[in-house]
Amino acid sequence: MAATAAALQFSAQVSSLNNYNDLYPDWTQREVSTGTTIMAVEFDGGVVMGADSRTTTGAYIANRVTDKLTPIHDRIFCCRSGSAADTQAIADAVTYQLGFHSIELDEAPLVQTAASLFRDMCYRYREELMAGIIVAGWDQRRGGQVYTVPVGGMLTRQPVSVGGSGSSYIYGYVDSNYRPGMNKEECLKFTAGALTLAMERDGSSGGVVRMAIITEKGVERRVILGNQLPQFSTV
Amino acid sequence: MATVSVCQYQPRGFSFENCKRNALLEADSTKFGFNAPAARKTGTTICGIVFKDGVVLGADTRATEGMVVADKNCSKIHYISPNIYCCGAGTAADTEMTTQIISSNLELHSLTTSRLPRVATANRMLKQMLFRYQGYIGAALVLGGVDCTGPHLYSIYPHGSTDKLPYVTMGSGSLAAMAVFEDRFKPDMEEEEAKSLVRDAIAAGIFNDLGSGSNIDLCVITKGKVDYLRPHDVANNKGVRTGSYRYKRGTTGVLTKTVTPLNLEVVEESIQTMDTS
């Protein structure tokens, strides 16, 4: 009885210890999160990946030109959403592991291997981590592939995948506009459109649209600035 | 007989054993009017920019303990290596110790590789350490320097995320400083223009944020040269008293005077030589 009373008292103390202090605004004590909208689409010969560029600490935008498309290997990239610290640390660890594996194998690694490494880490430490990752790239065996590893550590391959807080707003657009067998240009237009719509509606997404096109030939990076985004309505 | 083995298991990381006890003690002590001392924080405005030949780092000099200024002229720009410096915001002890640990490790690394350290290396070491402690080390850093690949600037958050940008601000005054940067930053500025911009950004933090104050320190790092300007600008001069509050001898009249000699006995006298080497 005394123990439970002491335990209740302790938790009350802990919450009072995090006192609201006028001197230090809320966002100095908040963790940095990539609010985010991320997306990846497969096409015949490669993948198109896209992300917004906003990183927030509470209501303050800590970085308005973030690059959330992180290279893991020559032709494998990942889109990061969730806690910035967690996803950066995971991506660094997987980059190391995949680089080591590739040297051992003496050939380019498979996208599925990279996705598996992400999944192993995200599932093993699922209680401590807040990370939603989309792994995409091109390899010799299966061509362009998109794998999604959401919060919790599931792994599944999808032809098109969206993630992040802004993804909720564009499921309808993605489901209605995606057609299998699109070519590279159509995929680019589809991705840019989806990300624009999400950035318009989600407060935690914004800035510029960063894209990466990964094919057998290599990686092409593109940026669409705010004033060049596709227009959907003039209201 | 039962000697303590050196190879005893050393638990790593923080030990949270005493947290419950401390919380209860703290609660009990306030009943008697005794308040435990608050951790000293550097309220702070720190910032950095990349200019044509290198980087300019700036910081204010106020350290606060709750609502009281603990140090009016503390140094927030820490040495990492001859070509890399780091500004620190957050808990003062954490920024101080973290930068010293990484500085020490980086010197060993530099001796091992026979190379001048790179800013990216310092960034990796700092972010991996801060991530390991899951945000419990309250150090928000602005890391800048010039190495063989050019000038680089990083912002590092307590949880271990980093951003590589041409201009960054951190601390409670970061919004005020960022407003100045977003208005006047241009890529490839000259040194004088860059120094003036950083000075103005820190001044914005000092005058508009309660957690920042006193002077402006600057650190200009270019290839082969570091200018550590402390203080670069004394923004807050201590006021001069307008009147003298000394009273002349005789202002207060003396009514009676009694002298009592105290007879003290020398019990023990010992001489200790001072080590002045």
The low-confidence residues of chain B, meaning pLDDT below 70, are 1-13, 30, 32-42
Mean pLDDT of A45-51: 97
- Minimal Cβ distance to A89: which of B24, B131, B171: B131
Q: Residues 174 to 193 of A: which have CB under 8 A from any B CB?
A: none
Report the pLDDT value the prediction gives residue B244, as an integer from 0 to 100. 85
Contacts of B134 in chain A (CB under 8 A): 128
Dihedral in degrees, nearest 10, Cα atoms A125, A56, B101, B202: -170
Subunit contact A23:B64, Cβ cutoff 8 A? yes
Min Cα distance B271 → chain A (Å) is 50
- C-beta neighbour count of A88 within 10 angstroms: 22
The mean predicted confidence, pLDDT, of chain B is 90
In chain A, what's the furthest Cα-to-Cα distance? 69
Is A159 exposed, middle or buried (CB count within 10 Å of its CB: 0-12, 13-18, 19+)? middle
The CA-atom distances, in angstroms, between A60 and each of A64, A161, A179 are: 10, 28, 38
CA–CA distance, B48 with B152 (Å, rounded to integer): 10
Mutant choice from B30, B129, B136, B161 vs A, greatest count of A C-beta within 10 A: B161
Subunit contact B24:A13, Cβ cutoff 8 A? yes
* Residue A17 touches partner B, C-beta closer than 8 Å: yes
- Minimal Cβ distance to A66: which of B124, B131, B163: B163
- Minimal Cβ distance to A13: which of B27, B90, B211: B27
Min Cα distance A63 → chain B (Å) is 7
Task: With beta carbons less than 8 A apart as the criterion, state whether A66 and B168 touch.
Answer: no
**Residue A6 — pLDDT band, cuts 50, 70, 90?**
very low
Report the pLDDT value the prediction gives residue A9, as an integer from 0 to 100. 46
* Residue A63 touches partner B, C-beta closer than 8 Å: yes
For B203-233, b/e burial (b = at least 16 CB within 10 A) is bbbbeebebbbbbbbbbbbbeeebeebeebb
Contacts of A86 in chain B (CB under 8 A): 159
Min Cα distance B206 → chain A (Å) is 13
CA–CA distance, B69 with B135 (Å, rounded to integer): 25
Contacts of B258 (CB under 8 A, 6+ apart): none
Report the pLDDT value the prediction gives residue B4, as an integer from 0 to 100. 52
Subunit contact B161:A6, Cβ cutoff 8 A? no
H or E stretch at B20: helix B19-31
pLDDT at A24 exceeding the cut of 80: no
pLDDT at A27 exceeding the cut of 70: no
Active site amino acids of A: 36
Contacts of A13 in chain B (CB under 8 A): 23-24, 26-27
**Total residues found in chain B within this entry:** 277
Single-letter amino acid code for the residue at B255:
L
Report the pLDDT value the prediction gives residue B168, as an integer from 0 to 100. 97
Report the pLDDT value the prediction gives residue B7, as an integer from 0 to 100. 57
Min Cα distance B21 → chain A (Å) is 9
Single-letter amino acid code for the residue at A234:
T
Contacts of A57 in chain B (CB under 8 A): 157
* Residue A28 touches partner B, C-beta closer than 8 Å: yes
Subunit contact A85:B20, Cβ cutoff 8 A? no
In terms of CA atoms, which chain A residue is nearest residue B170? A28
Task: With beta carbons less than 8 A apart as the criterion, state whether B177 and B204 touch.
Answer: yes
Q: Of A149-158, A208-217, B230-239, where does mean pLDDT reach its minimum?
A: B230-239
Subunit contact B131:A23, Cβ cutoff 8 A? no
Subunit contact A88:B162, Cβ cutoff 8 A? yes
Subunit contact A22:B23, Cβ cutoff 8 A? no
- Minimal Cβ distance to A24: which of B159, B163, B172: B172
Report the pLDDT value the prediction gives residue A10, as an integer from 0 to 100. 44
Task: With beta carbons less than 8 A apart as the criterion, state whether B216 and B199 touch.
Answer: yes
- Give A85-140 pLDDT, tens digit per residue: 999 999 999 999 999 999 999 999 999 999 999 999 999 999 999 999 999 999 99
CA–CA distance, B69 with B64 (Å, rounded to integer): 4
Contacts of B211 in chain A (CB under 8 A): 23-24
